[in-house]
Amino acid sequence: MSAPRLGEIAPDFTAETTEGTLAFHDWKGDSWAVLFSHPADFTPVCTTELGRVATLETEWERRGVKVLAVSVDPLESHEAWKGDIAEVAGSEVGYPIIADQSRAVSELYDMIHPGEGDTSGVRSVFVIDRSHTVRLTLTYPKSVGRNFGEILRAIDALQTTDRGPYSTPADWRKGERIIVAPTISTVEAKERFGDVEELTPYLRYATEPAG
């Protein structure tokens, strides 16, 4: 089964988690969501990753994002491992971790890749918007820890560009200037955004309107 593609509805599922039985679309509601897989409990890279996600709790909340982890280990293992994560990160894990022993969720989202040596998940990430649409996907190999700061930055960019006819340049961060859509003339752009910097006829920078 292929992974959900950008623009597709994220598949719904029901699963057992550290926070009880969870029906994904119902649990998510009209929030954004980050669904991410990790290969195994009690492993070094995964411990740092889940700890980092825990320390970013207020950042997820600020953006209206719920986070949900998944691995093929059983619920008892997840619960025991949470103590190590809290000790290493200095933050308790307050978000759900799916116990995907049947690999139903992992296979639904194509998180188990051939050639990885076992049937645990690679480091997949799905950013899903309020309408359950997949907006961004990332896949890391098992040996490389994820940059959750980049995931937050990408969510900022997605939520910003949803508000108007503009996009974001390379390395953009929230509060920096946006790129005016090529479908808008420079004259119209100046009327809408005020200060517009034209580098080329198709590359114009502007300040995102307040609100």
Active-site positions? Answer: 46
* Angle of the 75-89 helix axis to the 44-55 helix axis, nearest 10: 70
Quick one: which of 30, 23, 25, 59 has its CA closest to 174?
59
Report the alpha-carbon angle 128-60-139, nearest 5: 50
How far apart are alpha carbons 48 and 45 in whole angstroms? Answer: 5
Between CA 154 and CA 160, with CA 157 as vertex, the angle to 5 degrees is: 150
Burial label, 150 (beta-carbon count in 10 A; 0-12, 13-18, 19+): exposed
Cα gap 188→208, rounded to integer Å: 14
- Quote the DSSP letter at residue 156: H
DSSP 8-state symbol, 109: T
Helix (H) / strand (E) element for 155: namely helix 148-161
d(CA 112, CA 103): 9
